[in-house]
Amino acid sequence: MAERKPIESWLTDMDGVLMHEGVPVPGADAFIKRLRESGKPFLVLTNNSIYTPRDLHARLNRIGLEVPWESIWTSALATAQFLDDQRPGGTAYVIGEAGLTTALHDIGYVLTDHSPDYVVLGETRTYSFEALTKAIRLINDGARFIATNPDETGPSPQGALPATGSVAALITKATGVDPYFVGKPNPLMMRHGLNVIGAHSETSAMIGDRMDTDVLAGLEAGMETFLVLTGLTRPDEVERHPFRPSRVVDSIADLIDLV
């Protein structure tokens, strides 16, 4: 196997890597500080489409993690970029929160329920039967079906919550139409992110806590991959997958010296 080039830019997942249930992972603050001091380009990624980068900047700042909003890349932003590339100035019926609607407004999309080009499904804590019914009817009438990410559940202090992937499955069952998922593990989200910071996959690394999204997306985008064990994936689960990360570490604290 050819030796990889030195890492010049970093992409890292947020939940399970930098923070866990609203609490920073030990070493996350030092890792971010080292990144900022190094001047190397980096992005913090999340499949969650609820919040805007400015919202997430404020949330991270409250727990002591200084991440510039320009260094945050969400599945909502990736979805907006994808739609802008596919059909500039299009129209969409959106089920989602401010993170998604703001991203679509910013790229010049018109949000409408009148013969939209796309139905775009994102994360929300208030899925309504009326909105889902409208989405189903619009897709049946020919609207293309896009979803921000395939995550089936999301975390909460009370336990698992149904997430975008689960709701997308409901719409698919009712329409027979599968969505195009833009977020991880689709490497498109990673490639768009690399373009944002002017980085190349050959000299970039992805840090994540999930084999099926973070590591897979990084691998398919051609990056070096690091799996941390502070999130969802347990050590015994790594070998069950037909692919491997470049390296498995206990936490992001073990990667500080690589920056």
Look up residue 28 and give its amino acid: A
| Residue 37 contacts residue 234 (beta carbons within 8 Å) | no
Which helix (H) or strand (E) element contains residue 111? strand 110-111
Q: Which of 15, 117, 151, 214 is catalytic?
A: 15
- Spatial strand order of the sheet with 118-121 comes to 110-111, 91-95, 118-121, 144-147, 180-181
Helix ranges (H only) for 113-205 are: 129-140, 164-175, 187-196
Q: Is 214 a catalytic residue?
A: no
Tokens coding 174: 């009712």
Q: Is 15 among the catalytic positions? A: yes
Nearest CA to 49 out of 129, 157, 154, 206 is that of 154
| Both tokens assigned to 60 | 């991270």
- Catalytic residue (choose from 13, 29, 117, 151): 13
**Count of C-beta atoms within a 10 Å radius of residue 123:** 28
What are the Cα distances from residue 216, in Å, to 86, 125, 165, 197?
A: 24, 27, 17, 21
d(CA 61, CA 59): 5
Positions marked active-site = 13, 15
